[in-house]
Structures are given as structure tokens and as C-alpha cells.
Chains A and B, each alone.
Chain A
Amino acid sequence: MTDPMGPWRLHLAPFLRFSAVCLLGTIVLFPMYWMLVVALTPTGFSRALTGFVPEQLSFGNFVAIFTERPMLRWIVNSVVVATLASALSLLFGTSCGYALSRLRFRGAGLLMMVVLVTQMMPATSIIVPLYILFRDLGLLDTVQGMVVGHISLVVPLAIWMSKGFFDRIPPDLDGAARIDGCTRLGAWWYVALPLALPGMAAIFIYGFVTSWHDYLFAHALVHSQELWTAANGIASFRGEYFTLHELQMAAALVFALPVIVMFIVMQRWIVSGALTGSVR
């Protein structure tokens, strides 16, 4: 070895890499950590914080958002809307995903293109005509309207992701079922669909989270406070308690935590599902 730095480099490289990971990780985690710190600081005191740790712990902010504002009501609304929107989207989207995965038919390419465009165009383009349509149909400011609006977000996702899951099931299996006398519908219903069930569960969760996180539809289609979803409710806190950061952060934490915890528990599963949905 003629490299005089050789032995040093050997020890330095892992150390540098370790420090870099820690630094980048700290920066990435900081906003979430800060949300927790501010949420746990007594109302009005976060501006007096001098360090990065809470000086007094208090759960008063969490009590306040549930007693002073209808937070619980909003969460229930969100759960109802997200469950319905995701389940219905799955019901309507799955068979189309199978068709796009297995069957050759005229217009398949066009249909795939349309599904992709609807998933990827800005929702603000849909919301303007949808508002006028809902006004004429009397769906503005109703839970049904919200569900229909969210279906327009989740159905393309359900089609695209279920196509991905059916792609992974060997087509020979439905072929074998047909030789055994199944109709084409039977091959799908009795063979392919049960095999894709774990995938369906993943799609349901993904659709649920998409609806749970949506802000645009919730904000535009519903005016009455008691029908708001949680996303719209907590966003209103920024206007309502503009300088009371503690209440804003407590509400944000309550809203974000279920999904964060679920993600940590099912990390591997979700990441592979997401890759299926968007790359293939």
C-alpha cells in the first residue's frame, strides 16, 4: 500500500457515513419531533421555549381541542367517509384491474391511459365542475357527496394497484381453472380474487389513507362545521388559533398519529404495495 491515507480512510469512511446519516436523519425527523414538543407544551408557552426540549409537559392542549372544538365529531366523519369511499372504490375497481392485467381487449391501452391521467391530474381541475354538479344534484354539504368526491380520488388508485397485484398471480392458475370447467368469470371469482386478497387489503388501507388525508374535497364540498372531516377541521385551526401553536400541533399530532403508527407496524408491506401501484 502506497496510499499514506490508506489506514485512515479505512476507519474514516464508515465514521463519516455514520455521522452523515445521523445528521440527515436528525434534520428529517426534526419537524415531527418539534410537533410533539410544541403539542406537549402548555398553551401559549411554546414561544418562550429556549432549548429543544419541553420545559413543562402538559396534555391540556389535547383536552382543549376535544372540548373546545368538535374534534371527535370530525374524526368520526373522516372514518365514515374514508371507509365508505375506500370500500366502494375497491368494489368498483378490482374487476377492472383484473381485466387490464389479464385480458386483451380493444381500448385497453386507452383505458389504462385514462386511469393514469385521472390519478395524476390535479384534483382542483375536477373540483370546480364537481361543485357545480353537486350544487345541481343537492349533494353539496352532505356526507354522500364527500364519499362520491373521494371515490373519484380512490377508484383510479384501486384499479391501478389491483392490476399490479393480479400481474403477480401466475395466469396459469386461472388457465387451469378454466380447463377444469370454470367460466372466465368463475376463474376470476374463485381463483384469482382469493389469491389477491392480501393485495385487496393493502388497497383498502391505501384508499382509506388517501381519503383520510384529503383536504381539497373536504374543504370545497362541505361547509357546515359538523360535517367537516378531520383534515379540514385541523387546517381550520391555523386560522382559528393562529398564534396558539400548541393547539395547532396537538390537533396535527392526533390527526397524523394513527397513520404513522400503522406505517411503522406494517412498513414492509406498505412500501411494496406503493411500488406495485406506481412503477409497474
Chain B
Amino acid sequence: MSEALPATGSRRARAIRSRPLAWLTDGGGFPLLMIMPALLVLGMVIGLPMLLAGQMSFDTINFRRPAAAGTYGPHNYVRLWSDAKAWSAVALSGLYMAGTVVGSIAVALSAALLTRRIVRFRSLARLVFLLPWTVPAVVTALVWGVMYEGNFGVINRILEHVPLVGGANWLVERQTALPALMVAQIWNEFPMAYVFILAGLHSIPEDLYEAARIDRANSLQQFLFITLPQLRYILAVTVVLLMIMGFKSFPIIFILTGGGPAGATETLTVLTFNTAFRRLDFSYAATLGILAVAISIVLVVGYMRLVARLQEGRDGP
């Protein structure tokens, strides 16, 4: 659609000049009119809080020391710089992201490859792999909490019958807590990856496989030299989206372990929440929140670049 004002002298141009309102509804001000409601709301519910977070991060808002409020300075950032707990939280977030991304992609890719050429019960099979998506994170946490329970949880009862594998008090022991949370998260989020990968698989031209069969390529070769290269962009986008989801993850971790045992699962989001609402140090929590936003911006920029490349790949030769 052309953006320039209609030629001078036209009825519309005259209308726009005579009525300022027409500049908004029909002239150059139209985009402004259209984005204004969203801008106002975003400004109020996100912009204002983010500005306040910036201010808070230089203030000292700690409900345990109310008298300190108004003491401004870069002290929260100095503290962040040398705070081993904060950087360990960043590392835990990274570990959690890596684990859930690898796990979700592995499950989703297997499920997609298995259900791709299925003929009978096709939609049933797909429904099964999509269903965990509809389960709220809160419910995921409760269900896995019940299954992980150390004394009579169903997982330990199943493992009793498996030789060489012992049970564990999954969420209470230091070594098992984080992987146990990852499994719950993977179960909840892999369907998103499944949808994307399935869509990607269906966009691969069938004649590529026909040509490969004529050349007597076996299924492993077909997977390595046709499927994977054809899927690479959609896989990359899925990985970044899963990374963002893993980084944002809060309810599953918070409800199941609250960051424990002894900080073993205190990722950046959980640490931010605990710093504010358990240790009541809102200023430092705001500083941690800003660090999290900075990390998200890096992830989103990566995501946008990938999507741009994906669309280029689609339109190009």
C-alpha cells in the first residue's frame, strides 16, 4: 500500500488538510493511531516497570532494612559482579537450557520421524505427542512431584523391577534434582518442537527421497544427507525457541524444589524471585532481573536473525 499522501488537489488530500482528524484516520498519522493503544498499554505494564527496575537497581529497597531506602549507588552491580551465587544461577540456567533443549529435540525428532509416514491412526498418534503441551506447568509440577516421591512414588516403584538401577529421592538429592526437573520440563515442552519438526518434515520434497532410493541410499543415509540438511533451519529456530523457554522456566522449578536442595536448582529466574520475595531484597532482585532481560535480548536477536535466514532460504533458490 502506498504511504505517500494522495496527489495535491485530490478530494482526499483536501479532506486531510481541512480536518486534522483525517490525518490520523487516512493520512500519515494512521500508523501512529494504530499502534497507539498497544504502545500505551505496553508502556504502562512493561515499559514503566522496566524503568522502575532500572531505578530500583541503583536504590536500596530491602524490606528487612527499610531505613536504607534512598541510598543510591552502583552497589547492586558491584555486588552482582562478585556474587558467586548469581553466576552459579546463570550457569544453572545455561545447564537447564542445554539439557531441556537436547532432550526436547531428541524426543520431538524421534516422535516426528516415527509418526511422519504413519497411515493408520495418524491423527491419534499426533494427538498423543501433542497432549503434554496442553498441561499447565503447575499441573506438570504436581504430577511429576507425585511420581518422583521417594518412598512410594511410581517411578521408584517401577525402577525396583529394573536390575542395576536403583531408586532415588529424586527431588531431594543434590545430584538428581536438576535432571529430574529437566525431565518434567522436557515432557511439557517437547510437543512444540514436535509440531515444528513435523511441519519441517512435510515441507521436504518427496522426490529427493525418490532420487535417493534410486541411488540405493539406505534410510540412515537418507536421514543424514536429506532430512537433516533440509531441516536445519527449522531445527535451529526450534532450538532457539526452546532455549528461550528453558531460560524463562519458573513454575516447574519453583513449585518442585523452590531452588533447593541447597541452591542446586536455583536458576536465574528462581534466584530473582527468591531474592525479592523470600529474602525481601527487591533492589538486588531488580538487578538480577535486568541481567535476565539482557540475556533474553541476546537470545531474541539470535532468534530474529535465524528467522530472517529461514525466510531467505525459503524464497531463494
Q: Which of B74-82, B129-137, B173-181 contacts A (4 or more CB under 8 A)?
A: B129-137
Q: Would A123 and B250 count as touching, CB distance under 8 A?
A: yes
- Tell whether A260 pairs with B134 under 8 Å between CB atoms, given A47-B152, A234-B142, A252-B143: yes
Contacts of B134 in A (CB 8 A): 256, 259-260, 263
C-alpha gap A276/B77 in the complex (Å): 39
Q: Would B56 and A129 count as touching, CB distance under 8 A?
A: yes
A200 at the interface (CB under 8 A from B): no
Q: Would A175 and B49 count as touching, CB distance under 8 A?
A: no
Q: Which of B162-170, B205-213, B222-230, B293-301 contacts A (4 or more CB under 8 A)?
A: B293-301
A1 at the interface (CB under 8 A from B): no
- Tell whether A120 pairs with B50 under 8 Å between CB atoms, given A21-B115, A275-B199, A279-B307: no
C-alpha gap A231/B282 in the complex (Å): 24
B61 at the interface (CB under 8 A from A): yes
Q: Would A28 and B128 count as touching, CB distance under 8 A?
A: yes
- Tell whether A31 pairs with B147 under 8 Å between CB atoms, given A21-B114, A256-B135: yes
Q: Would A28 and B1 count as touching, CB distance under 8 A?
A: no
- CB proximity of A89 to chain B, nearest CB, Å: 8
Contacts of A102 in B (CB 8 A): 1
Q: Give the contacting residue for B130; candidates A123, A156, A184, A267; CB below 8 A.
A: A267
Q: Would A249 and B292 count as touching, CB distance under 8 A?
A: no
Q: Would B195 and A93 count as touching, CB distance under 8 A?
A: no
A185 at the interface (CB under 8 A from B): yes
- CB proximity of B205 to chain A, nearest CB, Å: 20
C-alpha gap A274/B194 in the complex (Å): 12
B84 at the interface (CB under 8 A from A): no
Q: Would B141 and A235 count as touching, CB distance under 8 A?
A: yes
B58 at the interface (CB under 8 A from A): no
Q: Would A113 and B35 count as touching, CB distance under 8 A?
A: no
**Cβ-closest chain A residue relative to B187:** A31
Q: Would A263 and B136 count as touching, CB distance under 8 A?
A: no
B231 at the interface (CB under 8 A from A): no
C-alpha gap A126/B47 in the complex (Å): 10
- Tell whether A275 pairs with B195 under 8 Å between CB atoms, given A34-B154, A47-B151: yes
Q: Would A31 and B144 count as touching, CB distance under 8 A?
A: yes
- CB proximity of A248 to chain B, nearest CB, Å: 5
Q: Would B46 and A152 count as touching, CB distance under 8 A?
A: yes
Describe A's contact surface by its main secondary structure.
helix
What is the count of residue pairs linking A and B with beta-carbon distances less than 8 angstroms?
280
Chain B proximity mask over A69-112: 1 for CB below 8 Å, otherwise 0: 00000000000000000000101110110111011110010010
Q: Give the contacting residue for A125; candidates B48, B53, B196; CB below 8 A.
A: B53
Q: Would A21 and B35 count as touching, CB distance under 8 A?
A: no
- CB proximity of B13 to chain A, nearest CB, Å: 13
- Tell whether A21 pairs with B152 under 8 Å between CB atoms, given A155-B38, A184-B30: no
C-alpha gap A159/B45 in the complex (Å): 15
- CB proximity of B32 to chain A, nearest CB, Å: 8
Describe B's contact surface by its main secondary structure.
helix
Size class of the B contact interface (CB-based, 8 Å): 35 or more
Q: Would A103 and B303 count as touching, CB distance under 8 A?
A: no
**Cβ-closest chain A residue relative to B41:** A92
Chain B proximity mask over A113-140: 1 for CB below 8 Å, otherwise 0: 1111110111111111111110000000
C-alpha gap A91/B36 in the complex (Å): 12
Q: Would B304 and A113 count as touching, CB distance under 8 A?
A: yes
A188 at the interface (CB under 8 A from B): yes
Q: Give the contacting residue for B285; candidates A20, A92, A128; CB below 8 A.
A: A128
**Cβ-closest chain B residue relative to A185:** B25
B204 at the interface (CB under 8 A from A): no
B244 at the interface (CB under 8 A from A): yes
Contacts of A108 in B (CB 8 A): 31
Contacts of B269 in A (CB 8 A): 122, 124
Contacts of A256 in B (CB 8 A): 134-136, 139
Chain B proximity mask over A129-172: 1 for CB below 8 Å, otherwise 0: 11111000000000000001101100110010000000000010
- Tell whether A245 pairs with B149 under 8 Å between CB atoms, given A128-B53, A252-B142: yes
Q: Would B139 and A255 count as touching, CB distance under 8 A?
A: yes
Contacts of A220 in B (CB 8 A): 273, 277
A32 at the interface (CB under 8 A from B): yes
Chain A proximity mask over B265-299: 1 for CB below 8 Å, otherwise 0: 00011101100110000100110011011001101
| Additional A-B contacts beyond A99-B34, A252-B139, A256-B139 (11; CB < 8 A) | A21-B118, A31-B143, A47-B151, A103-B34, A113-B300, A122-B289, A124-B292, A129-B49, A156-B46, A184-B25, A249-B146
A residues engaging B (CB < 8 A)?
Answer: 17, 20-21, 24-25, 28-29, 31-32, 34-35, 38, 46-47, 49, 89, 91-93, 95-96, 98-100, 102-105, 108, 111, 113-118, 120-133, 148-149, 151-152, 155-156, 159, 171, 174-175, 178, 183-186, 188, 212-213, 215-216, 220, 231, 234-235, 237-238, 245, 248-249, 251-253, 255-256, 259-260, 263-264, 267, 271, 274-275, 278-280
